[in-house]
């Protein structure tokens, strides 16, 4: 029977191929943010559950590690196909769990989870390592062996999308995984464990432990047999994980927060820049680490762009995530909504003018108790104020005028974060200069969120350490060993 057929789901951990209740017997509630209703009971797992998962993973590792690439390809490809077959069901779960519009989950989140597995299934086939000759006498080559058991910890904003973005390369490189999804969006991770069982994915190779960050998450980081941890989430959590991992000399990949600039020059392709800026501001309720939250506009077109952006933002329908006309769904939780509203209040205190939005939205009907925030555009704030420096992670953007390229760059780089940046200009040379000088791991020119999965993904400064994507993830999840032979 499918998960959506139940009104209340009791989630189980997936350990050694078996659904396992938490050892403590404790659960907490999973809430649908669009309705405020409890949808599921989530295992409140702790170190004992993580211990069981690591031990199942260790037992499964020798067979998984020594599989031929083609066999590993088949296993990962089967997961991709299993997700594809359940697209509608998974999209509905993701939308209910996270508050995002159903059409978005169906067109972006779940298809991307399919791509993550199919992309890294292919990587398992093609991955190789280098060799070097020193004249005719010496040959050196590099072995790239999997690490063993690795941890994957992911956030709530793109639940299955980011969960599988870590799991897929870890498995492709020959590791066994203990993965912890966000406590607020566990449903599609649970469904993934059902798919793994359905397609006969080898038991113990992928283990999923549900629970809270401070208990289950930290136990994954602290376990002496997790050889690496791939983490996506907030900068504060990332710092804590980096500290814990450093003491153990454990490899970490940290994909953290952002305060991304969206820089619009006067020669930008105007309509496209405007349309895409609306999307990069409010897609997924502004809860994408790559959303552009600071919109820098060249002074000569500032007023026109501001007025057009405000008009477009006002026209976005905030409402029931199941309604196909909804453009902005619910934010992920009541506490997150309060955090977003507190930043809007701070913007007022800091002298900002709220041009549109700025408040909670009441949605009638089944969503009357949901957590909805109106798309909000603010102007008049100094680039250095808290609202322009700290990550809000909601449907809130600020507008900042700039005089020239130099000033745009200085404002763009004047934050502690460095995840992504978007530049709108028709001037080829300027585009290259900006791409070179922006302090960001990802730069888009005249586009946004267009991803080639072969390119490195990640941030600099307080936005993280290490890169995911393409070969970078395969390198992260393997240990190089140099072998030199005197011939």
Compute the distance between CA of residue 354 and CA of residue 359 in angstroms, rounded to an integer.
10
Candidate residues 218, 298, 439, 472; the one interacting with ligand NDP per rule CB under 6 A: 218
**Out of 218, 255, 391, 405, which one is annotated catalytic?**
255
Compute the distance between CA of residue 270 and CA of residue 8 in angstroms, rounded to an integer.
48
Least Å distance, CB 183 to ligand NDP, is: 3
Q: How many CB atoms lie within 10 A of CB 303?
A: 11
Question: Binding to ligand NDP by residue 233, rule CB under 6 A?
Answer: yes
Q: How far is CA 213 from CA 74, 170, 330, in A?
A: 33, 21, 23
Candidate residues 21, 69, 111, 234; the one interacting with ligand NDP per rule CB under 6 A: 234
Strands 9-10, 38-43: parallel, antiparallel or unpaired by DSSP?
A: parallel
Question: Binding to ligand NDP by residue 101, rule CB under 6 A?
Answer: no
Question: Binding to ligand NDP by residue 153, rule CB under 6 A?
Answer: yes
Sign, CA dihedral 2-3-8-9, equals positive
Compute the distance between CA of residue 199 and CA of residue 191 in angstroms, rounded to an integer.
12
Least Å distance, CB 151 to ligand NDP, is: 9
Taking each helix axis from N to C end, the angle separating 159-172 and 187-198, rounded to the nearest 10 degrees, works out to 40
Question: Which residue sits closest to ligand NDP, CB atoms considered?
Answer: 213
For ligand NDP, the closer CB: 257 or 395? 257
Compute the distance between CA of residue 36 and CA of residue 287 in angstroms, rounded to an integer.
19
Compute the distance between CA of residue 420 and CA of residue 441 in angstroms, rounded to an integer.
6
Short-list 294, 244, 264, 287, CA closest to 413: 294
| DSSP secondary structure, 93-130, as one string | HHHHHH---HHHIIIIIHHHHHHHHHHHHHHHHH----
Question: Binding to ligand NDP by residue 157, rule CB under 6 A?
Answer: yes
Site stretch for ligand NDP (CB under 6 A), options 64-72, 156-164, 292-300, 379-387:
156-164
Tell me whether residue 289 is one of the annotated catalytic residues. yes
Site stretch for ligand NDP (CB under 6 A), options 44-52, 53-61, 207-215, 260-268:
207-215
Question: Binding to ligand NDP by residue 100, rule CB under 6 A?
Answer: no
Question: Binding to ligand NDP by residue 213, rule CB under 6 A?
Answer: yes
Least Å distance, CB 165 to ligand NDP, is: 9
Binding mask 264-303 for ligand NDP (x = CB under 6 A): -------------------------x--------------
Q: How many CB atoms lie within 10 A of CB 383?
A: 18
Tell me whether residue 255 is one of the annotated catalytic residues. yes
Burial bucket for residue 192 (CB in 10 Å: 0-12, 13-18, 19+): buried
Candidate residues 123, 221, 363, 397; the one interacting with ligand NDP per rule CB under 6 A: 221
Burial bucket for residue 465 (CB in 10 Å: 0-12, 13-18, 19+): middle
Least Å distance, CB 225 to ligand NDP, is: 16
Q: For residues 177-206, which are near ligand NDP according to CB under 6 A?
A: 180, 182-184
Compute the distance between CA of residue 355 and CA of residue 78 in angstroms, rounded to an integer.
49
Compute the distance between CA of residue 294 and CA of residue 367 in angstroms, rounded to an integer.
30
Binding mask 2-41 for ligand NDP (x = CB under 6 A): ----------------------------------------
Compute the distance between CA of residue 391 and CA of residue 388 in angstroms, rounded to an integer.
8
Short-list 161, 162, 34, CA closest to 98: 34
Question: Binding to ligand NDP by residue 415, rule CB under 6 A?
Answer: no
* The two structure tokens encoding residue 225: 């047999």
Question: Binding to ligand NDP by residue 99, rule CB under 6 A?
Answer: no
Least Å distance, CB 403 to ligand NDP, is: 30
Site stretch for ligand NDP (CB under 6 A), options 139-147, 193-201, 256-264, 319-327:
256-264
For ligand NDP, the closer CB: 232 or 277? 232
Question: Binding to ligand NDP by residue 155, rule CB under 6 A?
Answer: yes
Site stretch for ligand NDP (CB under 6 A), options 41-49, 68-76, 215-223, 381-389:
215-223
**H or E, element range at 132:** strand 131-134
The Cα diameter of the chain in Å comes to 78
**Out of 176, 191, 218, 289, which one is annotated catalytic?**
289
Active site residues: 255, 289
Binding stretches for ligand NDP (CB under 6 A): 153-157, 162, 180, 182-184, 212-214, 217-218, 221, 232-234, 237, 240-241, 255-258, 289, 391, 393, 419, 459, 463-464
């Amino acid at each position: 029977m499918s998960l959506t057929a139940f009104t209340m789901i009791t989630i189980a951990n997936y350990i050694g191929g078996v659904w396992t209740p938490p050892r403590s017997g404790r659960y907490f509630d999973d809430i649908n943010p669009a309705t405020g209703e409890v949808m599921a009971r989530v295992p409140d797992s702790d170190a004992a559950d993580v211990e069981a998962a690591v031990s199942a993973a260790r037992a499964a590792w020798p067979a998984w590690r020594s599989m031929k690439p083609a066999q590993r390809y088949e296993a990962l490809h089967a997961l991709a196909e299993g997700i594809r077959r359940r697209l509608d069901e998974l999209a509905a779960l993701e939308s209910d769990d996270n508050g995002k519009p159903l059409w978005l989950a169906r067109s972006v989140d779940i298809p991307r989870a399919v791509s993550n597995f199919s992309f890294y299934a292919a990587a398992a086939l093609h991955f190789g390592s280098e060799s070097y000759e020193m004249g005719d006498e010496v040959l050196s080559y590099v072995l790239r062996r999997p690490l063993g058991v690795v941890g994957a910890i992911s956030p709530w904003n793109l639940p299955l999308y980011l969960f599988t973005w870590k799991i897929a390369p870890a498995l492709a490189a020959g590791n066994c995984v203990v993965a912890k999804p966000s406590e607020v969006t566990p449903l599609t991770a649970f469904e993934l464990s059902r798919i793994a069982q359905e397609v006969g994915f080898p038991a113990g190779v992928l283990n999923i432990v549900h629970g809270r960050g401070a208990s289950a998450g930290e136990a994954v980081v602290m376990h002496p047999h997790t050889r690496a941890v791939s983490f996506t989430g907030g900068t504060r959590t990332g710092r804590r994980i980096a500290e814990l991992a450093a003491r153990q000399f454990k490899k970490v990949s940290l994909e953290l927060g952002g305060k991304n600039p969206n820089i619009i020059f006067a020669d930008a392709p105007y309509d496209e820049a405007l349309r895409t800026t609306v999307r990069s501001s409010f897609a997924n309720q502004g809860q994408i680490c790559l959303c552009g939250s600071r919109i820098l506009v060249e002074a000569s077109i500032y007023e026109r762009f501001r007025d057009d952006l405000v008009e477009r933002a006002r026209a976005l329908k905030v409402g029931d995530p199941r309604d196909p006309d909804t453009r902005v769904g619910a934010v992920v939780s009541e506490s997150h909504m309060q955090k977003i509203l507190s930043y809007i209040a701070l913007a007022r205190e800091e002298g900002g003018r709220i041009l549109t939005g700025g408040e909670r939205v009441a949605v009638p009907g089944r969503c009357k108790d949901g957590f909805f925030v109106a798309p909000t555009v603010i102007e008049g704030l100094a680039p250095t104020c808290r609202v322009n420096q700290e990550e809000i992670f909601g449907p809130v953007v600020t507008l900042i005028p700039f005089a020239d390229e130099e000033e745009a760059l200085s404002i763009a780089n004047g934050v502690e974060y460095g995840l992504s940046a978007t530049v709108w200009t028709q001037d080829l040379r300027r585009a290259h200069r900006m791409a070179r000088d922006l302090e960001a791991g990802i730069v888009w020119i005249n586009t946004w969120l267009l991803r080639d999965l072969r390119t490195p993904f990640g941030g600099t400064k307080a936005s993280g350490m290490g890169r995911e994507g393409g070969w970078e993830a395969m390198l992260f999840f393997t240990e190089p060993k140099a072998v030199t032979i005197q011939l």
